[in-house]
Structure formats: C-alpha cells, structure tokens
Structure 1
Amino acid sequence: MVKQLLIAGAGIGGMAAALACARSGWTVRMFERASILSEVGAGIQIGPNVTRLLHSWGLQKALAAVAAFPQHLYVRDALTARGLGNLTLGTAMQQYYGAPYATLHRADLLALLYTAVRQTSTQLQLNYGLQQFSQNPSGVTARGTGVEEVSGDALVGADGLWSPVREWLLRDGPPRTTGHLAYRALVRQTDLPQSLRSQQVTAWLGPNLHVVQYPVCGGDWPNVVVIVHGHLPLHQARLEHWDHSANAADLRASLAGVCAPLQDLVQAVNAWRLWVLCDRPPMSGAYQQAQGRVALL
C-alpha cells in the first residue's frame, strides 16, 4: 500500500524531503503558505555530503550549471588582513570525499530541486498554510487556510524557523532574537575593481563581527554577508519577515577600524539587505524531533 506524506513548507528543505520521499515510493502532498515560490536570502554553501546526495538524485548537471566550486577557503583577520588559516577545497576535497564543495544562490538551489520534484507525482498547493493538525495511531489530519481538510500517513514540518508545526508540536513559543544583524549583498564581479574580484571563499574575523564572501551564480556574482552585533528599532523589526532595506551608513559605521581591503569591499557595494538573526533554544533531545506521526525538519 502506497503511503501518503504531507509536507508543510516548500522551501529548500521541503523540496528535498518531497523529492527523497517520492523517489522512495511515497505519495507526497506539499503545502506552502506563500502564493508564489521564492527563496529569501542570497548564497548558500553546501559540502560534499549535500552535493553527493544531489548527484545521486540526477542533479549533477543542473548543479554544475548554477554553482561555483571554490578551490580554497581563506580565513583572515578583519583588522589587519593577516591570514589566519586556509582550507583546500576544489579537486582535493572531491578526491577525498567523492563529491565537491559548492557555493550557489539559494534561489538556484530551490529551482533545481523544484524542477526535479515536478517530474514526480508530488502535488504542490500554494497559498495554503497549515494551521492545525491532529494525529492518531492510523494517520494525521491537517487543516490550513482553506476549508479543505487533508489527511496522510505522516506530516513533516519543513516550514522554517517560524514553524507553525513546531509550535503545535512542542509549544515552545516563538523564536528569539540573537542580538545580531546580518547585512547581505550580491554584486556582479564585473562591477567590482579587479583587486576585489574572487572565486574563493573568504571569512574575515574581527571583534563583534565577521564577514563571509563567496561566489554564486556560476561565479559571476560574489555573495557578501556581514554579521555585526545590534538590534533593529521595534517599529522596523518585523522578525517573521527576514528581508529589510538596509542603511549602508549604519553598516559602514559598524565596520570602522577594519582593514583597508575589507573597507574597500564594503564601499564597493551600493545596495544591502538586512536580516535580524533569530534562533530557538536547543531541543531537549532527539525525541522532540519527531512525535508520533509528525516530524520536524
């Protein structure tokens, strides 16, 4: 008998879960509260454990078309630019682990997963946010923003940090702010001075801050992320919405005193987006990850 899986959330995690389970013989129904599929954010780094899985799903060519494959990860002092460490990636990592380390835009990763999911029998319903569920020994029933009630053999909550499924399952309240702000930007390599262009990963470490830059979109665009201590005013901090316009002057003030190469990089970027970083307290144990027929991703 074919089992039916319900998935709340059609982001990267939900899409990956849908593809894996559909390939294993499950019938999958996925529910996304947004009216369109989109991926908030910019870059993502994926290690060989992830790329190996994507390759096994037949996505090697699709990944190679949109990802960059840096050869090195450099760690530098944000105040002096002194090198602190170097991790060899590229061919050496592929030979050791059997799969490469890659960097890419989150929207590109979501798109290639969605393309693969569409080739399965998975059903995706947009503009449908799950609001409540119940379970018994034989299955799960969920109700969303529509009047339709849906049933399945199991439910996976892949609905992000602000997961309603987690709230219903664990009753542990909303996420909390960490006291950090993330400034993110994408800029074309060709719009940067030659000295600032890079196909490698660089992490800059400094007091109360760190900066990470790496290529995405096949190497054509660097993704730059600056993490600093700070808070948004309450009237601006719509925490459940990650993407805020950013004041570049505030960012530059936070980076006063960093080395010239890092100052030059930040000055070369005109448009920044701002995220208030949030997290949740750790779970008490693995038993909280899944209860009965409901699991959290």
Structure 2
Amino acid sequence: MQKQVLIAGGGIGGLAAALGSSRAGWEVRLFERAAEFTEVGAGVQIGPNVVRRLQAWGLQGALQAVAAFPERLQVRSALTGAELAALRLGNTAIERYGAAYATIHRADLHGLLLDALRERTGVHLNLGHSIVHHAQDGGVVTVRVARHGPGSDSEGGAQDLLIEGDALIGADGLRSGTRMRLLGETPTRVSGHLAYRAVVRQDALPQALRSQQVTAWLGPRLHVVQYPLRRGELLNVVAIRHGQPPADLDSWDHGANAADLEAALARTCTPLQDLIRAVPQAGSGWRLWPLLDRPPVAGPQEMAQGVVALLGDAAHPM
C-alpha cells in the first residue's frame, strides 16, 4: 500500500518536503494553520546544491523565470568600502558544482513549489488546519488536527480530526509545536541581532547604486548584504546590527527604523550610507526583524525520533 507522510507547516521547507515525498511515491497530507499560502520575508540565496534539487524536480524553467543568477560575490569593508575578497559565480559555479548560484525572492520560491504540488495527484493541502498533538506507536504516527477560521472551535472539540500516517515532518517554524512535543518546552533566545530588510526596484535607484552581484559589507557589530532578485529587477538589502529588540513589536513603528539604522551605520563608508538612505525612497521602506534562535541541537536524536522528524527552523533556526 502507498505510504502517507503528514507535514506540519506550509512554508518553503514544508512545501519542499511535500514535493520530494510525492515524487518518491508517498501520499502527502500537509496542514497549514494560515487561511492562505503566503511567504513572509524578502530574498534568499540558494547554492548549487539547492538548484540541482530544483532541477531534478523539473523546476529549472520555473526557477529561470523568477530568479537572478549573479556573476560575482564580493566582500567589502563597511568602513572603507575596500574590496576584501571576491568569488566568481555564474558559469564558474556551473562548471565547478554542476549548477548555478541563484538569488530569489522567498515568495517566488514558495510559489514555484506550490504550483508544482498543485499539479500532482495524491497531495492534499489543508489550509486553516494545524496539528495540535501527535503520538507514534509501532511505526505509525497519529495526529490530532484542529481546524481554524470562521465557525471552528480553536480550543478543539467537534472540529478536531484524528489522522494516521507513516511519518510526520514538523516544518512548523521557530515556535514548532512538533518540536515541543518531541523535545519538551525550550524557550527561544534573543540573539542580540536586529535585521532590517528591504526590497527595492533597481530602476528607482540611482545608477551608481544598482547592482547585479552579491555584496556583503562587513563592519564592527554590523554587516549588510545586497543582491538582485526577480531577474535582476529588484534589489534585496539586509542590514544586521547588534542591539536589543523593542519591547512590543506589535505596536512598533517600523517606519521609524530608518533613523535607527542610519545612526548605527554613521561611521561606515559613503557608498554604503548612500544605499541605506536610498531604500525608503526607492521602495516601501525597512522592516525590522529581531533574530531569535535556539541552542544548537545536541545530536541526531533531536532531529528525528522514530517516524517523526524536524525540518528547517523547527530543527535548527539560524
């Protein structure tokens, strides 16, 4: 009989696990708490190992349509602007590793995985549902699934379902319920790093600030990374500095972050400061993300136990 994998979470990791499982011949039931599939964040760099996997899944064309493929990665001093190191990408990466180095908007990567899944039979994508309990016995895992949204009882009850599977993958993020049930309650840690993220249209930037390569600016207690997205039409900028997050992010005025960031970069070189100042005018402005993590996993027993495994931020947040 066909085996069935249950997946908690419909982010990039959960969708990738679903697609890989489906292509391996498993039936897939994925449960995502949100009412619709969305991907929060900005850009992500994907190395040749990831690109090779997407190619094996038949997604080279879809990737080519939405990603950028930088020819070069450079590291520069944030204080002086001097180039510290450089790495050739483009054809060099293809020749050396068998696939390209790509940069892509997280929403675009999420979207191409979702489109591929919707074309496959035996894949059941359940929005507005979350796995609230699991138990395994004799190679079978049973989950209790709660339905969310209008008319549902978020505390459980009549809306809950019991579903059996042959494996469970917890791809349910930093505050993973699967992880908590597997390893016990462990609080997240404030990393002491604040990430300011922005995506801007390249044609809205001055010519001197446009770029089709990856640049990492390194400075004391801060670094900034920039790279192209969406065929090079967009520029992703992430600035990370040491600092404590505001007490209440829900009421935090994200629009006010530009002044804080400019103050933190006051000693950096002119080209970097010009880029940071251009972001609010060329795009929708900065968004603040305090970075949280957990203690490193102690070993493989914290990644998988029996037929239950953790994936992505549920296992090893960065």
Q: Would you call these one fold, judging by a TM-score over 0.5? A: yes
Deviation, structure 1 residue 236 = 2.4
Residues 255, 263 of structure 1: 8 Å contact kept: yes
User: Of the candidates 252, 256, 260, which is equivalent to residue 262 of structure 2?
Assistant: 252
Question: How many positions carry a matched residue from both structures?
Answer: 294
Deviations 1:86-110 (A, max 9, x none): 0110001101111000001000000
User: Of the candidates 271, 274, 299, which is equivalent to residue 285 of structure 1?
Assistant: 299
Distance 1:124 1:230, change over 3 A: same
- The 5 A counterparts of 1:151-162 are 151-162=164-175
Deviation, structure 1 residue 232 = 2.0
User: Partners in 2 of 1:100 and 1:233 — Cα distance?
Assistant: 39
Aligned to 1:208: 221
User: Partners in 1 of 2:256 and 2:69 — Cα distance?
Assistant: 29
Residues 140, 166 of structure 2: 8 Å contact kept: yes
User: Of the candidates 217, 221, 226, which is equivalent to residue 230 of structure 2?
Assistant: 217
1:122 and 2:132 correspond: no
User: Of the candidates 281, 290, 293, which is equivalent to residue 276 of structure 1?
Assistant: 290
Aligned to 1:57: 57
Residues 204, 212 of structure 1: 8 Å contact kept: yes
Structure 2 unpaired stretches of 5+? 148-159, 312-318
Distance 1:200 1:188, change over 3 A: same
User: Partners in 1 of 2:117 and 2:242 — Cα distance?
Assistant: 39
User: Partners in 1 of 2:106 and 2:196 — Cα distance?
Assistant: 16
Distance 1:174 1:126, change over 3 A: farther
User: Partners in 2 of 1:155 and 1:42 — Cα distance?
Assistant: 28
Letter in 2 for 1:292: G
Deviation, structure 1 residue 115 = 0.6
Deviations 1:9-59 (A, max 9, x none): 111111111001101110000000111111110000000000011001100
Aligned to 2:271: 261
The DSSP-based 3-state class of the residue aligned with 1:185 is: strand
Aligned to 1:20: 20
User: Partners in 2 of 1:22 and 1:236 — Cα distance?
Assistant: 38
Which consecutive segments of 4 or more residues in structure 1 shift more than 2 A? 235-238, 243-246
Distance 1:175 1:265, change over 3 A: same
Identity of paired residues, percent? 58
The DSSP-based 3-state class of the residue aligned with 1:287 is: helix
1:140 and 2:147 correspond: no
The DSSP-based 3-state class of the residue aligned with 1:100 is: coil
Residues 139, 306 of structure 2: 8 Å contact kept: no
Aligned to 1:234: 247
Deviation, structure 1 residue 129 = 1.6
Deviation, structure 1 residue 237 = 6.5
User: Partners in 2 of 1:133 and 1:176 — Cα distance?
Assistant: 26
Deviation, structure 1 residue 245 = 5.3
Deviation, structure 1 residue 177 = 1.0
Letter in 2 for 1:255: L
- More displaced 10-residue stretch of structure 1: 224-233 or 189-198: 224-233
Deviation, structure 1 residue 145 = 2.2
Residues 246, 274 of structure 1: 8 Å contact kept: no
1:77 and 2:77 correspond: yes
Letter in 1 for 2:190: T
Deviation, structure 1 residue 254 = 1.0
User: Partners in 2 of 1:157 and 1:98 — Cα distance?
Assistant: 31
Structure 1 unpaired stretches of 5+? none
User: Partners in 2 of 1:246 and 1:108 — Cα distance?
Assistant: 28
The DSSP-based 3-state class of the residue aligned with 2:16 is: helix
User: Partners in 2 of 1:77 and 1:138 — Cα distance?
Assistant: 53
Aligned to 1:186: 199
Deviations 1:171-219 (A, max 9, x none): 1413211011000001100000000000000000000000000000111
User: Partners in 2 of 1:246 and 1:72 — Cα distance?
Assistant: 33
Normalising by the residue count of structure 2, what TM-score does the alignment of the two structures yield? Answer: 0.90
The DSSP-based 3-state class of the residue aligned with 1:129 is: strand
Residues 3, 153 of structure 1: 8 Å contact kept: yes
Residues 175, 279 of structure 1: 8 Å contact kept: yes
Residues 31, 127 of structure 2: 8 Å contact kept: yes
User: Partners in 2 of 1:283 and 1:269 — Cα distance?
Assistant: 37
